[in-house]
Amino acid sequence: MSTKSKIDALAATAGKIGDDPGVSVAAAAWRRLRRNPVFLTGAVIITAFIVLAILAPFIAPHDPTDPMLGDQVVKARNQIPESQEGHPLGGDQVGRDLLSRLLVGSQQTLLVGVLATLIGLTGGLILGTLAGALGGWVDSLVMRAVDVMLSIPGLLLAVSIGALFAQPNIYTLIVAVATVQIPIFARLLRGSMLAQRHSDHVLAARALGVKQRAIVFRHMLPNSLGPVIVQSTLVLAISIIEAAGLSFLGLGNPDDRIPEWGQMLGRAQNVIDSHPQLAFWPAGCIIVVALGFTLMGESLREALDPKSRR
């Protein structure tokens, strides 16, 4: 399925009525998810990830910004500290404790994922709601713009945005990754609005004389929550992976005092032949977390959309 048709299929689930009478879609979905091993695996991974990110400063054995060998500065590749007592994973290129950096790095990685998703969602929410609620020329204008943005491959668009900033930092990286998601969320929300436009609950509200604005904000938007949650979960994974790609291309945060997995992985490219562990650990973390979000997102999608349930 193309991105577009995938988004549209997801949007069509907005405001659906459950199969079983008397049970809401959300309740029915939850009932299915509770026993779904795929969803549970993803949920366990993500819970562990979030707990780790919160506890990281307390459980990290060393200061992630401090060279573990004291004053001795690592100058060459062959001085990168190997695994030793007190430092089970050894050190990084500058001699900082790798384990501590991985633990603390979870915070920035979580920040990248969450902020990028929130920005993408907010932008898409505004555009998509405007287009879906107002219709007419606003709709045409917004959707043409969205189509042009969707016509550029995602990473290329992110690279284009990322290159605009003279001094890249973690926030410019987040903005670059988030921008790619705006048209996707916009299309999703517009689709959810359209799917509900002629549904019974909107018709009923209109017949009762509820104002258009109230219909959009109190009835249509809350009913679009399901598809939005599904897409957000998937975007969390995508943005963490794409942020790593941008770091690899040299558009990441140049300040590496505060660690982030994507940045650690991107920076390891020069020493990967002699010290593969510097790439493997952050890559492993990214893969596990991205997998966790994907497992959750895909099982949520299945639970919400009876057609894709198999």
- Residues 87-93: contacts with CB under 8 Å, at least 24 apart: 87/61, 87/62, 89/277, 89/281, 90/277, 91/67, 92/264, 92/278, 93/267, 93/268, 93/270, 93/271, 93/278
Smallest distance from other proteins to CB 145, Å: 9
- By beta-carbon proximity to other proteins, the closer residue of 14 and 244 is 244
Maximum Cα–Cα distance across the chain? 76
Q: Among residues 35, 70, 151, 198, which is the contact residue for other proteins, using CB under 8 A?
A: 151
Dihedral (CA of 218, 24, 38, 9) sign: negative
- By beta-carbon proximity to other proteins, the closer residue of 19 and 273 is 273
The answer to the question of residue 65 lying near other proteins (CB under 8 A) is no
The answer to the question of residue 294 lying near other proteins (CB under 8 A) is yes
- By beta-carbon proximity to other proteins, the closer residue of 156 and 203 is 156
Rounded Cα distance, 261 and 105, in Å = 6
- By beta-carbon proximity to other proteins, the closer residue of 194 and 220 is 194
**Residue 76 DSSP code:** S
The answer to the question of residue 147 lying near other proteins (CB under 8 A) is yes
Sole window of 28-36, 59-67, 79-87, 141-149 interacting with other proteins (rule: CB under 8 A): 141-149
Q: Among residues 53, 295, 296, 303, which is the contact residue for other proteins, using CB under 8 A?
A: 295
For 215, the enclosing helix (H) or strand (E) is: none
- By beta-carbon proximity to other proteins, the closer residue of 45 and 202 is 45
User: What residues numbered 208-247 form the site for other proteins, per CB under 8 A?
Assistant: 237, 241, 244-245
- The helix/strand/coil state of 2 is coil
The answer to the question of residue 17 lying near other proteins (CB under 8 A) is no
The answer to the question of residue 159 lying near other proteins (CB under 8 A) is yes
Nearest to 242 by CA among 112, 51, 93, 75: 112
Rounded Cα distance, 188 and 231, in Å = 9
The answer to the question of residue 304 lying near other proteins (CB under 8 A) is no
Smallest distance from other proteins to CB 266, Å: 8
Q: Among residues 265, 278, 285, 303, which is the contact residue for other proteins, using CB under 8 A?
A: 265
Dihedral (CA of 82, 102, 164, 248) sign: positive
User: What residues numbered 164-183 form the site for other proteins, per CB under 8 A?
Assistant: 164-166
Backbone angles phi, psi at 249, to 5 degrees: -85, 5
Q: Among residues 36, 114, 229, 298, which is the contact residue for other proteins, using CB under 8 A?
A: 298
The answer to the question of residue 286 lying near other proteins (CB under 8 A) is yes
- The helix/strand/coil state of 208 is coil
For 221, the enclosing helix (H) or strand (E) is: helix 221-223
Show the tokens assigned to 107: 């915070």
Residues that bind other proteins (CB under 8 A): 1-4, 143, 147-148, 151-156, 159-160, 163-166, 237, 241, 244-245, 248-251, 265, 269, 272-273, 276, 279, 283, 286-287, 290-291, 294-295, 298, 308, 310
